Structure 1
């Protein structure tokens, strides 16, 4: 393999580059392609879904039924799995369920001198659409990381979509779907799958909310259907940013970069070296591991095309660069790192310590690995039980025990209604004065 052509830049250059948003702009052709796909599926339903799948994914479906799997089908595929796979999936399942059951989402019920009940109640979202990515690999872990959380929340219907793949891979995905409590599974991927979830077709029910990571086209499709349907976050191609003050011993950190790069050629890897030295040894280690990696070509492209290696003077500069990126995964390897600093970092998920890694978060840590990418960590969060619930505010007045307080509440509301010119509002309130 030829020598890696890696971008090594200084703090000022990296800062200027990131401020111009060059690292996260979405290609115009992706937006337009996705727009056309969504309109086609929305208008033509099953017919469009089959035609697009056969063209893009090289499938040979004649009907949606051929790509559909019910609970009985899922169970049969689970029974085909090796015992070692079943044991592993059940171990991961237990950790995910335990973590999300520990998250408190209790209803709020209080009262004051006017209202007998004043608060909020939670209820599960009924119909969930899940996307599990494919492409360079299959991801049964993505099924567990979303479907199990939906089950903990109490969602009634969970429909899974995943791209076409080999029979062996399909068995793994469908078997995992059974373990995760999926209602129906569909062998469709890409923007057309997102469109089918968002708007429904003759054979596929419309989802209330869509979850799951994917490539640029999937992320853009979720962005475009948002508002017609709920979405978890804009989870696109994988990202990792590593902050390190190590000066030697880069085998693990090189492996962590490669672990994200192997997801696909559009994966993003950023390494921030604090202080002088270190990057040369890291580059040598990357060269060695990329040469030996089964997906070396994909990794090489990701590291050369979408990655950046930055030398900074101190942790403050590292934090500034990190917060311009707002990465999906942030790893921090820094001597005597203080937990009190964590809230200064913008990131979807943070992994602190040399023995920790984003890869553990991909599988067995417990929190969902469906994490916002493309700087969306600034305003959104990793998938959790709260994302599968809706909050409803509730008030109740049974009887008026304190007329003075009740009338005071009405008078203030009447004043504001009239100030806004909404006299119908004011009149409805005036009728209730005691």
Structure 2
């Protein structure tokens, strides 16, 4: 049996689960404190779960978790409210009978909400996911914010071929948790995979480059080796994007001799319905990187038809519609990504000679630089809550970075060998 001496001895815990927790997301909110897991049995394991929850809450962007201090822990018994006035909430943990019990204490009101026990399997992969789900529940209840901790991320990992054979590089599709943990290789093509994305909750798509041509494939997460060609079309197909409805696929194809914007209608089983059609082409111009608006009515894409690559909007359902220039402030735009709430578009651009992540705000009609530093940054991806941005750096040490709302610094969530690129969030 697991034991933790925790805050369950506080007198005001007798109030039980009697209050609703509501708190606005303001910068001057006091931090939250998570009590340590005091236990002689499985203490190290429980401390790891506490660290997972701490990371999740800190990355939520609404509140910070205060650092652990021994003095604070020693002030629990007897409980004196004045010792906890610097915190808005205290989260206690109690483990028993292979279950983990959380109680959230409102320090000011001296009230508590106790949550249903979480079963502990002592399998870190499974228990981490349960902690992620609990973090998302806290964010929803405390701040009315959709949490991202339980989401998954697809990405590619590129490395040199060690066998000395051509090609000199190979790139495979991987999947990981929102914090970069539990990384797992999905494809084993021994070739070059690019631009993965979720086709549904159980399927994903990616571009596979082989023998001089690039094609779009689909596969199941549980059986990635059983891949299928998604489109049957001459030439190269690149940079796919799926509408929120799952019924349309935008991509770039060179069947006409140069990269143009195409659209493929899909049925409910995500299979092609009819033939793909060309949406936009311009003389001596290259189109790239389409992304759908949440309602599916518009597509944002990159084109160099007027000179430097910039982002244009196209109402693709109107056959007479012409692309409208969107980005004007920063040059050399690439890899746009529309937020799920439709209010923002993230993209990469060259700023003072370095590629940075920028955001276009549709309500304010403003463009804002979101990152700084000397590293090249590409491929921004909005989390489903439209608050968190994921992107990758480029170079010998290409890693995935998470940019939470109001964050002072981006958080690197990957490490180790290989170049991690093209991060993409799991869908709702």
Is the TM-score greater than 0.5?
no
Larger Rg: 1
Greater strand proportion: 2
For normalisation by structure 2, the TM-score amounts to 0.28
